[in-house]
Amino acid sequence: MSRPERFEMLVLGSGEGGKFLAWHMAKSGHRTAVVERKLIGGSCPNTNCLPSKNEIWSAKVADLVHHADRFGMVTGPVATDVKRVLARKRDMVDGLIAMHLDQYKASGAELIMGTGRFIAPKTVEVSLNNGGTRVLTGDRVALNLGTYATIPDIPGLAAAKPLTNVEALELDRLPDHLVVIGGGYVGLELAQAYRRFGSRVTIVEAGPQLAGREDPDVAAAILEMLRDEGIAVHLGAKVLGVQGRSGETVSLQLHTPLVDQTIEGSDILVAAGRAPNTAGIGLNLAGVALDPRGYVAVNDRLETSAPDVWAIGECAGSPQFTHVSFDDFRIVRDNLAGGDRTTRNRLVPYCMFTDPPLARVGLSEAEARHQGIAVRIAKLPIVAVLRSRTISETRGFMKALVEADSERILGFTMFGADAGEVVAVVQTAMLAGMPYTGLRDAIITHPTMAEGLVPLFANAPAR
């Protein structure tokens, strides 16, 4: 073994939390290195959130143009130029990579491009992308390894070489008929986008509803939206086998509660779960224990079983969002500085960027029931929010949960235009411990979607 190069902070994987930690530590004067095998800045800017939202925005434009006459616009024939959709996305990603490289330079953290694996506690051997190896040790080490899309163990599926989100967002052609396996947020966002670009789309979901963690009324509204756009959806559908090759022709045998059938398609997108990038990288040699699902086992301070080794983001089993990985960074940063910051009681909002989007913070009705928490429920159709009429986006509803015997807001769900922005208003009120009457009685700008919070909370049943 060559003599290890010593760093005060060594980060393996340059995801959201890892890169912010590296930049912070380097700027604070600590000798810092980040090892990244491919994605400068991690998966969010390269293959996940931002590329998907970029292409989803192109799909929104496609939808607006297709329905331009509704808005009084006269257009000629409309077609999707997938190569230009892809080029716009790639331009954005290139810009983001340049932005990240600037940050590395400005902070002084060294970015080492290669694949790392532990060969001893706090010691990583890096197979450099441009050849050769380096051995690095860190006084402190952070793991920010992320996850990858799993391919379910279905006969013929792996051999069909299905797309995952990574390949789907690099397509330079329009699938004739895209079959999406998985009705979670990744599958639904891309299904709708490709439908709007002009593909036939079929969604196959094993569970009884789409968006499995949401309340049934939310899932039903999403289903209706997708079907209205011409997407075929099979629920409770087990894929028994797959023949053919994605990109050419594929056929899938489905078993559903109603009927067994075969569907023919041109491409398969698998969006049916993720697994951590923790296998085969010597974590056992580093003394880092994994949980039964293969995620790095951490306590609520994000410490692993190995002294001075921390884990951040999805590989640590944190909720799978960029904003959570960022918060994990803040927890590790503060704990490294002697603080005691934990993952306990985090209020984690999220948004599924379908059109309209679905956003939630806090409890759903089902979760409240499951936890035995009595709530008052307020609901408001989006059509009652007058902003929605000005933009002809009247689909959806808002739903709020207020504690039965107090004025505390326990949850908010919105399926409607600008839901990702409106949810932040309710989240802020929840963080401030504001009673729901604070929002009910607020003066909110007219006409905005957030204005709907006033009549929504006015609908909360009295105690």
Ligand X SMILES: Cc1cc2nc3c(=O)[nH]c(=O)nc-3n(C[C@H](O)[C@H](O)[C@H](O)COP(=O)(O)OP(=O)(O)OC[C@H]3O[C@@H](n4cnc5c(N)ncnc54)[C@H](O)[C@@H]3O)c2cc1C
The catalytic site residues sit at: 446
Residue number with CB closer to ligand X (319 or 438): 319
Residue among 142 and 378 whose Cβ is closer to ligand X = 142
Give 423 or 439: the residue with its C-beta nearer to ligand X.
423
Q: Which residues, 6+ apart, have CB-to-CB distance to 69 below 8 Å? A: 75
Residue whose CB is less far from ligand X, 4 or 447: 4
Of 22 and 44, which CB lies nearer to ligand X in the complex structure?
44
Applying CB under 6 A, which residues contact ligand X? Answer: 12-17, 35-39, 42-44, 48-49, 52-53, 115-116, 144-146, 165, 186, 277, 281, 313-315, 320-323, 325, 353
Amino acid type, 31: R
**Which one, 253 or 335, has the nearer CB to ligand X?**
335
CB of residue 133 vs ligand X: minimum separation in angstroms? Answer: 13
Number of other CB atoms surrounding residue 365 within 10 Å: 18
| Token pair of 318 as six digits | 């944190």
